[in-house]
Amino acid sequence: MSLSSAVMFVNAAYAMHTGTPPSPPPPATQTASGAKSTGDPHLSLAHGGKADFRGKDATTYAFLSAPGIAVNVGVQLSNFTLNKQRLLVHGSFFTSVYINVNNALKVSLDASRVNDRNYAWNMLEGTCGGARVVLGPHSEHACATASIVTQYSSTVVTAMGWSVTATSQPVYDRVGWGGPRHRLDVHIVRDADSHTSCIHGIIGQSFAQERRDGKLDVYPHSGEMTTSAMGEGAIDGVPDDYVVPHGYDTDFKFTMFQPTPSAMEACGHKATFKSSSAFTFSSSL
């Protein structure tokens, strides 16, 4: 029985005995358990915030940056319709995801690999300690303390107190031949035992702060529109501060991948950071 249910039960019993009305249960505590991106792309931030993020075509952004782990996303522009083809949208999608764990495990997912049945035999590619890793559906892989589990069209990478899920989805009602056929939705969850606030990135920073809402695109019912929201109001700095030149790069303005001692002290991180030399290579299928 939950705390609120227990309170309601006790209050009801008390009311029957005394004739006084019960007091309301305590409000639920909001926690930062997860954050995600869906669609073109809509961000559901930790603590309940919302924002949209168009990005720039063929550009990679730092999505999550925390001690020992970096998650970057690649953007591709797309034209598609909504509302039974009444609205033409010039938008974008996340079509690639790069995960770097201590510079030892480097894996990527790319929507261009996905077939018409929404899966790929090489959905995940990368390296573990220099050894090549390629995974298709319903597979498992371990690399030191990191684990990878794939389902039919989704992949979960768990490492350094984080769980990152990337799921392929079709791009419906797309217009023209130049845009992506599939997108990747990303869901990031922090381990309940992780208390560090040394977290940044476009979506990662929402774990380390109170609720912040960002700019949202407004979709008319019909006509034509171009998305423009870039997370303004929900992110520190400007969107270009989060651009990384290559998929596995960890260095950007607000990086927390290998924070300096002063940076760790400033964000209240008490644990000693372990560099990649402490990440032993032991891979198994």
Instruction: Evaluate the CA torsion angle 91, 163, 285, 247 in order and state its sign.
Output: positive
Per the domain annotation, does 242 fall within a domain? Answer: yes
Q: Would the CA dihedral through 256, 160, 61, 44 be positive or negative? A: negative
Q: Cα–Cα distance between 226 and 77 in angstroms, integer?
A: 11
Burial letters 103-113, b for 16+ CB under 10 A, else e? bbbbbbbbbeb
66-87 pLDDT tens trace: 999 999 999 999 999 999 999 9
- Whether residue 3 is contained in a domain is answered as no
Domain count, the chain: 1
Residue 265 and residue 252: Cα distance in Å, rounded?
Answer: 19
* Domain-located, residue 17: no
pLDDT for 137-193, tens place per residue? 999 999 999 999 999 999 999 999 999 999 999 999 999 888 999 999 999 999 977
Count other C-beta atoms under 10 Å from residue 13's C-beta.
Answer: 11
Q: Is residue 133 part of a domain?
A: yes
Distance CA 239, CA 163 (A): 24
Does any domain span residue 10? Answer: no
Confidence (pTM):
0.84
In-domain check, residue 2? no
129: containing domain: 34-271
pLDDT tens digit string along 217-270?
999 999 999 999 999 999 999 999 999 999 999 999 999 998 777 767 777 654
Q: Is 13 among the domain residues?
A: no
**Looking at the domain assignment, is residue 5 inside a domain?**
no
